Structure formats: structure tokens, C-alpha cells
Copies of this chain bind each other. A is one copy, B any other.
Amino acid sequence: MKLICSKSNLLNGVNIVAKAVPNKTTMSILECILIDATGSEIKLLANDMELGIETVVEGEILEKGQIALDAKIFLDIVRKLPDNDITIVTDSSLKTNITCEKAKFTIIGKSGDDFSYLPSIERIDSIVLSQFTLKEVIRQTIFSIADNDNNKLMTGELFEIDGDILKVVSLDGHRISIRKIILKNHYPSRKVVVPGKTLNEISKILSGDMDKDVSIFFTGKHIVFEFDKTVVVSRLIEGEYFKIDQMLSSDYETKVTVNKKELLECIDRATLLVKEGDKKPIIISISDGNMELKINSTVGSMDEEIDIIKQGKDIMIGFNPKFMIDALKVIEDEEIDIYLVNPKAPCFIRDIKEKYIYLILPVNFTTVA
């Protein structure tokens, strides 16, 4: 194999596919990036068996062939080479020379035959949305997936299509995040659970451009994202997702309208008194026109008041401050509405059109400072 491409194109491509290289694996071929120049285009591939990424790099193929190179070393070499044309040449013994200007690296590759290609997926069913929208919706929901594997379904996000609505849901047993997106077209109904890891990695690759689209294809076991010159294939999580509709209710006893930034900064301040792992709640007392926030820990105490608009009953309720912060951080509205029922029932932060719903379970508190 012999090929030439510019450093910037190659670096961009390697950075993209490197997202599918596992940190730890016992199969050393999975730690590799495959350079596939057997066809008419230079393709880079990586695949950790759950998630696979393929991208096309512009360049010239002087001699067809393929080679698998250790992803970390290859990325480091490409990154540190001068900003000029890079030539990659392999021989039959898998020795690979990577040259750029007067610098020449020699590393030993692995045979491309051992590499597991992406599963070939029939691309029929698809939806289209902008890269910006997909990147945003992941950011606005990914924080409330479960961080452990106890329940596999909780480690993914529900993507539910119904007509022209895409609903994205994540939950971890303490909170639920729901975002609704209006699509340009109507599509057949569909429900899949996409692994959180896939979404995390894909959001790093997406440009976040409003004018560039992503096509998403579904099959029984896989989801495929196609954008720019890149294809991302991921397994789906199997099983039936939680029935969240029965957890949502529009009844409330108290409705609070509050400036989001003020509330976020106040809760953020309060958390500095809480050491990691310590589960001190922030206690919120709501009365006419006033919200008082208190936290009490071994380190000290904090007490702060915020002006609000209140409808309904007074209430005192405790929350894990981190859960409140996570939700408030990803809401773009300046003023938000919080709906409460009683100190044991979940609170809802949602807009009128329900483009977003954040449900947070309260925590018990016994003593109040």
C-alpha cells in the first residue's frame, strides 16, 4: 500500500475514528485503526464491536492495500508531524513507513485481514436532523443516564419517533430528562435505546453546524449515523424501555417561576460545603414571593434567598443539589417554571410546550438548620 494525504485531512480522519477505539481491550486488533485503500477512496475504520466508525480521507492512492496501525501511536505520529503531505507506505512484512518532509517514522502494523469490519446495514428507515440539533439534544439529556451497568437500559437513551416528533429520554432512577424535537418530516413510529457511550462519542465528532444534516438509520439491532464523510454504526440496547408516561403528571400544588441563572448560581455556591460522596440535601422553602435555600454540612452552613413568583401552597422540600444543577445547566430559558406537589413527590421543571421536562425526585431531610 502507498498513499499520500495532507496532514490536516489525515489528522481530522484519525481523530474521528479514534473515538471508537476502546481504552482497554484484550484484543489488540481493536486498538488499531484500519487504513483501507483497497478501493478508490482512502477509508479509516475503527470498531470496538459495540461502536464502529468509518470515515473517508481525501488523498491519493498510489498502490492499493490496507494496514491496521495502533491507534494511539498513529494518532501521536500524525499529530506531531509537520503540516505538509504525509506519505504512508507498507511492505509485505507489515512494516509501515510514515514520512513527512525529512521526518520518517517506522512502525509495525497488523494485517487488515484480522480487522472486523462494520456490519453491513440496510439503510431504509431514516430520519434527518441537523448536526446542531443532535449534538444539543445529547448534551441536554446525557447527564441523567445511569453511570453503572446494574440496569443496562438505564445506560442508554430512548429515541422515540412518532410522526414528526423525536423524543429523547434518559433516566437513572432518581431523575428523568425528556427533550422533544420537531422534525421536518413525518416518519413511521419507532422506539430504540441507544447506548450512552455511542452518544457521548458521536457528540464529540459532530460539528454542531446548523446547516449540516445527520441521517439516522435504524435496523432491528443497530443504529447508523451518517454525516459529512463519516458513518457511525452502533449496536442498540435490547429490551423494553421504561414506561415513563405513567410517571409524568401535570397536577401540582405549587408552581414557582424563578430566574434560572440566579437559582443555578445559588445552588452551585451551596455545593461547595458538600464534600464528594456526602449526600447533603439542599433544602428549599417556598413561600409568597420568596425561595429560601439552605444547606447544612459538617463544613458549615449556607442560607440564601431568591425572589420568585409563587402560585399555590407553601412547601419545604429537599433535593440532591447536583441533580438540580445538572438540569438547570442545560435549560436555555431565562425564567423557568418548577411544579411541585408535596415533599415526597417528584418536582418537574418544564416549559409550557413541554419541549423539555426534567423530573427530579426529592430526598428526605430530618433536621433543618
Contact = CB atoms under 8 A, between A and B. Distances in A.
B81 A302 contact: no
Interface string A92-126: 00000000001111111000000000000000000
Given A80-B268, A102-B305, A108 B300 contact: yes
Contacts of A70: 299
Could you say how many copies of this chain the assembly holds? 2
B103 A300 contact: no
A82 interface: yes
Nearest to A77: B272
Contact of A300 (B73, B266, B268): B73
B302 A103 contact: yes
A80 B300 contact: no
Contacts of A269: 77, 80-81, 103
A301 to B, nearest CB: 5
Given A80-B268, A268-B80, A303 B107 contact: no
A306 interface: yes
Given A82-B265, A265-B82, A104 B300 contact: no
B102 A306 contact: yes
A73 B106 contact: no
B301 A106 contact: yes
A300 to B, nearest CB: 3
Contacts of A301: 105-107
A106 B107 CA distance: 61
B268 A103 contact: no
Interface in A71-88: 73, 76-77, 80-82
B265 A299 contact: no
Interface string A295-311: 00001111111100000
A116 to B, nearest CB: 24
B106 A272 contact: no
Nearest to A106: B301
Interface string A257-278: 0000000011011001100000
Nearest to A81: B269
A265 B101 CA distance: 13
A105 B102 CA distance: 62
B106 A302 contact: yes
Nearest to A303: B104
A71 to B, nearest CB: 13
Contacts of A300: 73, 105-108
Nearest 4 pairs between A and B by C-beta? A107-B300, A76-B272, A103-B304, A80-B269
27 contacts: A70-B299, A73-B272, A73-B273, A73-B299, A73-B300, A77-B269, A77-B272, A80-B265, A80-B268, A80-B269, A80-B272, A81-B269, A82-B265, A102-B304, A102-B305, A102-B306, A103-B302, A103-B303, A104-B302, A104-B303, A104-B304, A105-B273, A105-B300, A106-B301, A106-B303, A107-B300, A107-B301
Interface of A: 70, 73, 76-77, 80-82, 102-108, 265-266, 268-269, 272-273, 299-306
